[in-house]
Amino acid sequence: MSLRDHIGDYRPAPEEARGIDREKAVVLAMFLVPGLTLFAIFSVGPIAYSAVGSVFSWEGFTIGQFTGLDNWIRTFRDPLFINWTNITEMQFPMGALAQNLLWVVIHVPVSTLLGLGLALLFADLTGRRILRSMVFLGFTVPTIVIGLVLLFVYDPQAGVFNAVLRAVGAEGLVRNWTQAPQLAIFALIAGGIWVQTGFSMLLYSSALSAIDPSLIESAKVDGAGPYRRFRDIIWPLVRPVTAVVVIMGIIWVMRVFDIVYAAGGSAGGPGHVYSVLGIEVYRAAFEAPIDYGKAMVVALVQLLIVAPLALYIARMN
Amino acid sequence: MTRDTRTSTETAPEQRTDAGRYLPADAIPETAPSRETEWRTRLTEAVPTLPRLLKYVLAIGVALLWIVPFLGLFMASVRPLSEILQGWWNVERMTFTLENYRQAWSYSTAPMGRALLNTFVVTVPSVLVVLLLGAMAAYPFARFEFPLKTALFFLILLVMAAPPELVAMGNYNTLRNIGLFDSYMGLVLVHVGWGLGWVVLFLRNYLLGIPEELEEAARIDGASRYQIFRTIILPLSAPALVSVAVIQFTWVWNAFFFPLVFMRSPDLYLAPQVLPLMRGRLQVQWGLVAAGSVMTLAVPVILFMLLERYYKRGMVAAVTD
């Protein structure tokens, strides 16, 4: 439906239509150019810059010679990026890529299922809005605060988590969870799940509230138990949302930065045991020794992992 | 998909959920039915059955569990360090103090008062500019065909999926070259450029749901495209604009990575940036960290509570399209 289709009805003269075309072009430019200029300079430009820069050598912040895949090969051989020896021995640090993917593998399914569970639990209760808001609250709080709260919760002395362990008689498990090399990453992932469950619950809740209640009523009348009702009515209707929840979860986790930075600084924990890709980019790009080539490669890897998923969402519509 | 959700939530109630359960208008009796049940039966009906009661207990328990860490944060912010180390949940002999807030407000490295002001100075223009430019760009996207439209779409999606780390290197060099590094203006520009993608896509989806006939009528009456935009499009998209404003405000306010990279002078630090510095060296200054955190998170949380409807609806619409 172009503009001309509408105008054609009452102004059919071709020479006038051309004039209107010019007017349309001016209007288009006026509306589009300011926004798109900023978008091009500060979003698209830098991405292209990183893509090009990843195949050049870097002298500090200055671009040097074309070096082909040098940066890429160097990065993939870097134990900070992926540490094959430690992966086979199931020992942290496994490298930022492996740790980030481990985060995806645990965080995304758990937060999705928990979100669905809570959405179903709250669906028909009085006061559900308050209950939902309580669970969702964490998602509106700055993620750096979330990281600091985790530090506080897992603190050996002042932390409530260790106090619970003491209370149930598991004294032996009491420790500084965010600094324990082999366990810290799981403690942080639990924190990520804590935050993101609210988000997936919100999406599932809105999908559930769109379900016609009479459908469920009639299933009840027909004698379908809770499990049958879920499997045959609710699940088919909320399944499309699941794709969105899972993909948004992966995107969220692949750019997780603040929580890890708050808990372990720019090193990503003692001996980089829970470093993630974002942390590696930050350290390579903005802390001495500066390695722009590596930073760009790692950031591009982050994008390459999530880009197909975003396109999948786009194609769904 | 946005349009689908909107139609199903807004028009469906009259069409479907009724399902013929209501009486037609002429069959409604003149008087309201009298209460046939005694108060005793009514009371038993109002009390939930046991499984339902258990469900309530579980639901409230889970919701409380979810906010325990924030409760701890708040308690730590109003108690002295010695009591925090004994456990914030020990409430006997509790001393209430605002000392932590006072210290955080005038924290020596970067006073929280100043940091909060900086955060406002960056956030407000970032939101307003994104709203204006985003709405302007979304309009042609929703109504006109123009060359490269599909390519632009593709780019917007790509940027929405990209991690902020990916644009940091390029923007760092750009801001250095144009002399805006370590300044409010520079950070605002980065936030605007970064936010425009999703805002354009979000508003475009909303505009697609506004019938075009209104604009055609105005067009026949001789209104210019600019007038149509200002007098028809902007007022009609007010709910979507509020959603965008709330979400963008929260994201810019909460942003940690961009300030960390682009703000280097302590007197320009933003509030989220100051918080990790408050940890101190040997013993973590929990009271200070907690007070600073509470001050920082208060703004987005209050905003969320005030405009919850817009926030949630916007969030759902933003990601399900």
Asked whether the beta carbons of A236 and B41 are under 8 A apart, the reply is: no
The Cα of A89 is separated from the nearest Cα of chain B by a number of Å equal to 30
B6 burial (CB, 10 Å; 0-12 / 13-18 / 19+) is: middle
H-helix or E-strand spanning residue A57: strand A56-59
| Phi and psi at residue B211, to the nearest 5° | -60, 140
Q: Nearest-CA distance from B103 to chain A in Å? A: 18
Contact yes or no for A28 and B140 at CB 8 A: yes
Rounded distance between C-alpha atoms, residue B91 and residue B88, angstroms? 7
B45-80 b/e (C-beta count within 10 Å ≥ 16 → b): eeeeeeeeeebeeebeebbeebbebbebbbbbbbbe
Of B12, B200, B319, the CB nearest to A244: B319
Q: Spell out the residues 6+ positions from residue A237 whose beta carbon is closer than 8 angstroms to its own.
A: A207, A210, A211
Cβ contact B190–A42 (<8 Å): yes
CB within 8 Å: A131 and B60 = yes
Q: Are A205 and B315 in contact (CB under 8 A)?
A: no
Task: Tell me the per-residue pLDDT of A3-14, one tens digit each, with 9 for 90 and over.
Answer: 444 444 444 444
Residue of chain B nearest A42, judged by CA positions: B193
Q: Are residues A158 and A58 in the same domain?
A: no
Does residue A56 contact residue A66 with C-beta atoms inside 8 Å?
Answer: yes
Q: B117: distance to nearest CA of chain A, Å?
A: 16
Q: Is the same domain home to A60 and A129?
A: no
Backbone phi, psi, residue A126, to 5°? -70, 140
Helices (H), chain A: 3-7, 14-39, 45-53, 70-76, 84-88, 96-122, 128-140, 143-153, 160-167, 184-209, 213-221, 226-229, 235-254, 258-264, 277-286, 292-316
| Rg of chain A, C-alpha, whole Å | 26
**Partner-chain contact A43 B256, CB within 8 Å:** no
pLDDT at residue A300 greater than cutoff 80? yes
CB nearest to A38's CB, from B17, B192, B304: B192
Q: Domain residues of chain B, as ranges?
A: 39-105, 112-319
pLDDT, residue A20, reads 60
Q: How far apart are CA A57 and CA B84, in angstroms?
A: 51
Question: Does residue A169 share a domain with residue A68?
Answer: no
Contacts B85 to A, Cβ<8 Å: 157-158
Quick one: pLDDT band at residue A146, thresholds 50, 70, 90?
Answer: very high
Phi, psi of A64 (to 5 degrees): -115, -130
Strands, E assignment, chain B: none
Which two three-digit tokens encode residue B254?
């909460």
Q: Which residues pair with B97 in a beta bridge?
A: none
| CB–CB contact B174 A310 (8 Å) | no
Contact A137, B301 (CB under 8 A): yes
Last residue of a domain, one of A73, A98, A132: A73
What is d(CA B108, CA B99) in angstroms, rounded to the nearest whole number? Answer: 15
B146 vs A119, more confident: A119
Q: How far is CA A191 from CA A68, A113, A138, A148, in A?
A: 40, 16, 10, 11
Range of the domain at A36: 3-73
φ and ψ at A92, to 5 degrees?
A: -85, 150
Nearest-neighbour CA in chain A from B28: distance (Å): 22
Q: Most confidently modeled of A10-19, A93-102, A229-238?
A: A93-102
Angular region, B221: left φ>0, alpha ψ -120 to 50, beta rest:
alpha
Q: What is residue B282's DSSP assignment?
A: S
Please tell me the distance in Å from B69's CA to the nearest CA on chain A.
7
> Residue B48 phi/psi, 5° resolution?
-65, 155
Q: Residue A104: list chain B partners with CB under 8 A.
A: none
Are A152 and A260 found together in one domain? yes
| A181 burial type by CB count under 10 A (0-12 exposed, 13-18 middle, 19+ buried) | middle
* Residues A181 and A227 both lie in one domain: yes
Q: Tell me how many domains chain A contains.
A: 2
Most confident of A32-36, A167-171, B6-10, B276-280: A32-36
Last residue of a domain, one of A73, A96, A114: A73
Instruction: Check CB contact of A163 with chain B, cutoff 8 Å.
Output: yes
- Residue in chain A nearest B298 by alpha carbon: A141
Residues A135 and A68 in one domain: no
A49 and B55 within 8 Å at the Cβ level: the answer is: no
Question: Has the ipTM of the complex gone over 0.90?
Answer: no
User: A154, A180 in Cβ contact below 8 A?
Assistant: no
Cβ–Cβ gap A296/B219 under 8 Å: no
Residue A300, chain B, CB below 8 Å: the answer is: yes
Do A96 and A203 fall within a single domain?
yes
Q: Are residues A177 and A106 in the same domain?
A: yes
Q: Do B17 and A213 touch (CB under 8 A)?
A: yes
For residue A118, what pLDDT band results from cuts at 50, 70 and 90?
A: very high
- Are residues A303 and B296, on separate chains, in Cβ contact within 8 Å? no
Buried/exposed code over A274-292 (b: 16+ C-beta within 10 A; e: otherwise): bbbbbbbbbbbbbeeebbb
pLDDT per 10-residue tile (average), chain B, 321 residues: 42 49 68 67 74 90 94 94 90 88 91 95 96 94 86 88 93 94 95 94 90 86 87 91 94 96 94 91 88 95 92 82 60
Q: Domain check: are A64 and A88 in the same one? A: no
Last residue of a domain, one of A29, A53, A73: A73
Which residue of chain B is at minimal alpha-carbon distance from A163? Answer: B87
Closest CA to A266 of B75, B165, B39: B165
Topology of the domain covering B112-319: MetI-like fold (1.10.3720)
Whether A145 sits inside 8 A of B168 (CB atoms) is no
- What CATH number is attached to the domain comprising A309? 1.10.3720.10
Q: Does A52 touch chain B (CB under 8 A)?
A: no
- Per-residue pLDDT, B10: 42
The yes-or-no verdict on residue A131 having pLDDT over 80 is: yes
**Pairs across A and B, CB distance < 8 A:** 308
Residue A313 DSSP code: H
Q: Which residues of B touch A194 (CB under 8 A)?
A: 66, 69
Residues A149 and A201 in one domain: yes
pLDDT computed for residue B1 by the predictor: 41
**Sheet strands (E) in B177-303:** none
Query: Closest chain B residue to A250 measured between Cα atoms?
Result: B161
Shortest distance between the Cα of A75 and any Cα of chain B, in A, equals 16
Show which of residues 53-92 on chain A sit within 8 Å of chain B, judged by CB atoms. Answer: 53, 61
How high is the pLDDT of residue B33?
A: 65
Q: What is the pLDDT of residue B218?
A: 87
Do A158 and A288 belong to one domain? yes
Gap between the Cα atoms of A141 and B300, Å rounded:
7
Question: Are residues A29 and A139 located together in one domain of the fold?
Answer: no
Q: Which two tokens stand for residue A265?
A: 């600084």
Q: Maximum distance among all alpha carbons in chain B? A: 81
Whole-number pLDDT of residue A11: 44
* Closest among B149, B266, B162, B252 to B201, alpha carbons compared: B149
Give the nearest chain B residue to A265 (CA atoms). B276
Cα B82 from Cα B72, distance rounded (Å): 15
pLDDT for A14 equals 46
A192-247 residue pLDDT tens = 999 999 999 999 999 998 888 888 888 888 888 888 888 888 888 888 889 889 99
Ramachandran category for residue A159: left, alpha or beta (phi over 0 → left; psi -120 to 50 → alpha): beta
